[in-house]
């Protein structure tokens, strides 16, 4: 078995026994990157020199008997989190030359836990997309079928884990951007509660929706990553001072007597039959483990897409106003005055999808329309959150599909934004409500494409997600296939 194909906890055991070194693990991962990256394009930038130096430090720590939770573990970072001295582009031309002077809090936390950073993962431009096709640096491909998308916007982070180009990775989730690509690439992905993981150093898309979370090869690794990432950060205004448990303690606990909410609004016409069958099978596994399925309703689900595509673009319009060619990033040349520089910089620096969302958001916030659009959407968002509050009075967790279909072909939906937006139909509500969600592999389509089941829990109940996910993962025993790269 190649080192790059192992999990965090398997590699930790080998490191503790002295059977491998951190350098050997790093070299194994970079050899894998050399072999498959040209096909998959998971990365915008590799950090090999930095990684080998971090691996050397990890080996020195191990010799002193200091083994941290992620010592020597190669991790990929979505190119939306700031890395001191290393370019952070957000997949956009407008930031192609931006080098942050500081690290994001999650980068500091992972570094403190001993992680080795492989590189910056590809993504949809400014996290706006569901397929990683809007990146200025070109699309990422799904390791399971190179003609298909890996999901988005964290497609590079998901495909890197699926293709064994890292052991774990970091993504961000604004409307499903961790869970959707996790499902389509056959890995585990978690969006924590809003405020559970610091957003300091995360380049903003929609500030009331964005959340950072992990991609991993199994549920135990997800718990290990959450232990490293979670916690209060005084530098970040929306970070919540809540106790952080040891997430590994939830693994393997039984779920006998748990009530599993099945929302009727998520099982409707339009779901791919293979997805529906796989999720129904997952529900039967959960029942066999002691869970009781109960029907619940989330009545405002039908408004989620409309609410999201007012709130998210409105916040993006505000956040992206800072990219003007003056302070940092791309600056248009050959202009006559400041106004022309602003216009030309933004015209040349942003891609079509980002421009589309800025225009939608600016319109929604404009005088005379603010109350009708953004104000009304915020009111309906409160109703969506109330739906979940009521549902969790009756059930412990909610079970849904993660995506309506398996991965679609590259280019299939690029000319139809609405069809692209519908890819996130089952994940958007979680961000609007601020609750945690998790996607876990639940099988394969007849064409051999991965499928995912989604678990949702109440605020700050990530432990419950890990508990049911670990029980499900063990009982379902989904076949351990690898992409034929």
Based on the residue annotation, tell me whether 172 is a catalytic residue of this protein.
Answer: no
Compute the distance between CA of residue 313 and CA of residue 317 in angstroms, rounded to an integer: 6
**Residue 270: how many CB atoms within 10 A of its CB?**
9
Can 159 be counted among the known catalytic residues? Answer: no
State the sign of the Cα–Cα–Cα–Cα dihedral 104, 41, 157, 115: negative
State the DSSP string of 101-112. Answer: SS--HHHHHHHH
CA 164 to chain centre: 17
Cα 149 to chain center, whole Å? 15
Q: Which helix (H) or strand (E) covers residue 261, if one does? A: strand 259-263
- Among 99, 7, 112, smallest CA distance to 47 is for 99
- 10 Å CB burial of residue 408 (0-12, 13-18, 19+) is buried
The span from the first CA to the last CA of the chain, in angstroms, equals: 16
CB atoms within 10 A of CB 407: 30
Catalytic residue among 130, 153, 239, 317: 153
419 token code pair: 């069809």
Strands 188-191 and 437-444: antiparallel
Which residue out of 28, 78, 109, 317 is catalytically annotated?
78
The two structure tokens encoding residue 119: 């590189």
445 a catalytic residue: no
Q: Which of 92, 159, 169, 177 is catalytic?
A: 177
- Residues classed as catalytic: 78, 153, 177
């Amino acid at each position: 078995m190649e080192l790059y194909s192992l999990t965090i906890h398997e590699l930790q055991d080998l490191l503790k026994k002295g059977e491998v070194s951190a350098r050997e693990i790093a070299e194994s991962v970079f050899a894998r990157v050399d072999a498959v990256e040209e096909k998959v394009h998971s990365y915008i930038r590799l950090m090999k020199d930095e990684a080998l130096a971090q691996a050397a430090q990890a080996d020195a720590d191990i010799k002193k008997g200091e083994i941290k939770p992620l010592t020597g573990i190669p991790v990929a970072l979505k190119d939306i989190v700031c890395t001191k001295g290393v370019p952070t582009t957000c997949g956009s031309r407008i930031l192609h030359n931006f080098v942050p002077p500081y690290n994001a809090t999650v980068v500091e936390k992972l570094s403190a836990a001993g992680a080795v950073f492989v590189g910056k993962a590809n993504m949809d431009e400014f996290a706006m997309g569901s397929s990683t096709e809007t990146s200025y640096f070109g699309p990422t491909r799904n390791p399971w079928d190179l003609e298909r998308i890996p999901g988005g916007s964290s497609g590079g982070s998901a495909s890197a884990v699926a293709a064994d180009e890292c052991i774990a990775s970091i993504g961000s989730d604004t409307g499903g951007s961790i869970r959707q690509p996790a499902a389509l690439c056959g890995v585990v992905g978690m969006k924590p509660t809003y405020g559970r993981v610091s957003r300091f150093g995360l380049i903003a898309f929609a500030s009331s929706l964005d959340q950072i979370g992990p991609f991993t090869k199994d549920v135990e690794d997800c718990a290990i990553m959450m232990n490293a990432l979670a916690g209060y950060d005084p530098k970040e205004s929306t970070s919540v001072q809540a106790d952080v448990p040891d997430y590994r303690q939830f693994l393997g606990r039984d779920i006998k007597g748990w009530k599993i909410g099945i929302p009727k609004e998520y099982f409707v016409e339009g779901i791919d039959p293979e997805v529906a069958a796989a999720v129904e099978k997952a529900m039967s596994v959960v029942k066999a483990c002691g869970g009781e399925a109960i029907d619940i309703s989330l009545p405002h689900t039908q408004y989620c897409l409309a609410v999201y595509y007012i709130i998210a673009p409105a916040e993006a319009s505000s956040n992206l106003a800072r990219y003007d060619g003056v302070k940092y990033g791309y600056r248009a040349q050959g202009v006559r005055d400041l106004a022309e520089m602003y216009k030309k910089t933004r015209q040349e620096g942003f891609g079509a999808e980002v421009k589309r969302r800025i225009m939608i958001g600016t319109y929604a916030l404009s005088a005379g329309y603010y109350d009708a659009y953004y104000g009304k959407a915020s009111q309906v968002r409160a109703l969506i959150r109330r739906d979940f509050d009521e549902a969790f009075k009756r059930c412990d967790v909610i079970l849904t599909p993660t995506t309506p279909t398996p991965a679609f072909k590259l280019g299939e939906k690029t000319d139809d934004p609405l069809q692209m937006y519908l890819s996130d139909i089952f994940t958007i509500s979680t961000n609007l409500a601020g609750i945690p969600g998790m996607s876990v592999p639940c099988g394969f389509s007849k064409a051999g494409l991965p499928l995912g089941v989604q678990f949702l829990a109440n605020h700050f109940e990530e432990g419950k997600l890990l508990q049911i996910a670990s029980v499900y993962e063990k009982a379902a025993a989904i076949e351990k296939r690898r992409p034929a790269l």
